[in-house]
Amino acid sequence: MAQNPRGDNSGPQAEPLLKVGGLKKHFALTKGTSLFGGQRKVVRAVDGVDFEVMKGETLGVVGESGCGKSTTARLLMQLIEPSAGEVVFDGRVVGSRELPLKEFRRQVQMVFQDSYASLNPRLTIEDSIAFGPRVHGVSAREATARARDLLARVGLQPDRFAERYPHELSGGQRQRVNIARALALQPRMVILDEAVSALDKSVEAQVLNLLLDLKSDFGLTYVFISHDLNVVRFISDRVMVMYLGKVAEVGPSEALFDQPAHPYTSALLSSMPSMDPDHRTEEVPLSGDPPNPIDPPSGCRFHPRCSHAAAVCSTIEPPRVLRAQQSVACLIHQRGSGHPQALPA
């Protein structure tokens, strides 16, 4: 897959469109307290996440299954209520009086992985796209015109597809409809949660190129969640790596892929398949399963699986520090942390 010739706005002049601070989501396993009166156990799906999304950029989000990527996306959209933390969109707190959820969701839309489950089987394609604008006060005539225009923009001829139902379309066509529906409210940001992972490679490439064209045409900002590292590298300006509910590393796409700073990022990138026979993976880059999010390890959450772990890693939770262009949560890069590979204070 060719590299993305990004004509983006994510340089030094860009400003944060979205700020996330201390975001947490803990799912209780049982109601009330435990049998012996102790605190009830919780699944720490997202456990203190901080990051920014700059205007006009594509932020890729990667990590193993269960690391909290999709939960973070649903927290951003307020589809589930956070246990703690704050989401600030363009300087206003989401869900507050200054930015009610209805106004926020008009400006931020989401595309899900399952293209069929995302569409109402009883509505035509045209009605599905026009539904959102009508809910937000757009006249029926204008909403229908907008739906037909967006169908054309995503490569589906309105005369052929407007009156069809979801079951009459292929997976790639349905995902194009979902993208058109997300754009119907003229949002500023789109969150794409595994939006191309269910598509075959030829259709995936078409949808990715479509997303790049739409981003340029509409001045969009993307949060792109995927397990496919090659796709993330192709489409993203910056990449955020998550592990067990926390952010391990954030940095520019090319810098992070070429020189990963966190040991987990290195292991994750080592799992990428290569067609080059001189770059075969002869050793398993990462062994074992992620720890239990109900009872995560103390200190650095990655230390039980990390080949660079030292005794201090099990006692001190690493803060995120700047290392070149990347922000990384690893004691190796923190001066005076006590790790044998860290520089002295």
CATH code of the domain in which 216 resides: 3.40.50.300
Residue 345 in any domain: the answer is: no
From 258, 281, 304, give the residue that closes a domain: 258
Please, is 107 exposed, middle or buried when counting C-beta atoms within 10 Å of its C-beta (0-12, 13-18, 19+)?
A: middle
Residue 34 in any domain: the answer is: no
Q: How many domains does the chain fold into?
A: 2
73 with 141, same domain?
A: yes
Q: What span, in angstroms and rounded, lies between the C-alpha atoms of 68 and 88?
A: 20
108 with 236, same domain?
A: yes
Quick check: pTM over 0.85?
yes
Q: What span, in angstroms and rounded, lies between the C-alpha atoms of 114 and 178?
A: 10
From 258, 287, 308, give the residue that closes a domain: 258
Q: What residues contact 171, with CB distance under 8 A and at least 6 apart?
A: 115, 116, 198, 199, 203
Q: Apex CA 125: angle with CA 124 and CA 128, to 5°? A: 85
Q: What residues contact 292, with CB distance under 8 A and at least 6 apart?
A: none
Residue 6 in any domain: the answer is: no
What pLDDT is stored for residue 282 in this prediction? 63
What pLDDT is stored for residue 11 in this prediction? 45
Q: Apex CA 108: angle with CA 103 and CA 113, to 5°? A: 135
What is the residue-level pLDDT of the chain in tens, covering all 345 positions?
444 444 444 444 568 999 999 999 999 987 655 555 566 789 999 999 999 999 999 999 999 988 999 999 999 999 999 999 999 999 999 999 999 999 999 999 999 989 899 999 999 999 999 999 999 999 999 999 999 999 999 999 999 999 999 999 999 999 999 999 999 999 999 999 999 988 888 889 999 999 999 999 999 999 999 999 999 999 999 999 999 999 999 999 999 999 999 999 999 998 877 777 777 666 666 777 788 899 999 999 999 999 899 999 999 999 999 988 899 999 999 999 999 999 998
250 with 284, same domain?
A: no
Residue 339 in any domain: the answer is: no
102 with 245, same domain?
A: yes
DSSP string, 217-253: HHT-EEEEE-S-HHHHHHH-SEEEEEETTEEEEEEEH
Domain that holds residue 306: 263-333
Residue 338 in any domain: the answer is: no
279 with 246, same domain?
A: no
199 with 316, same domain?
A: no
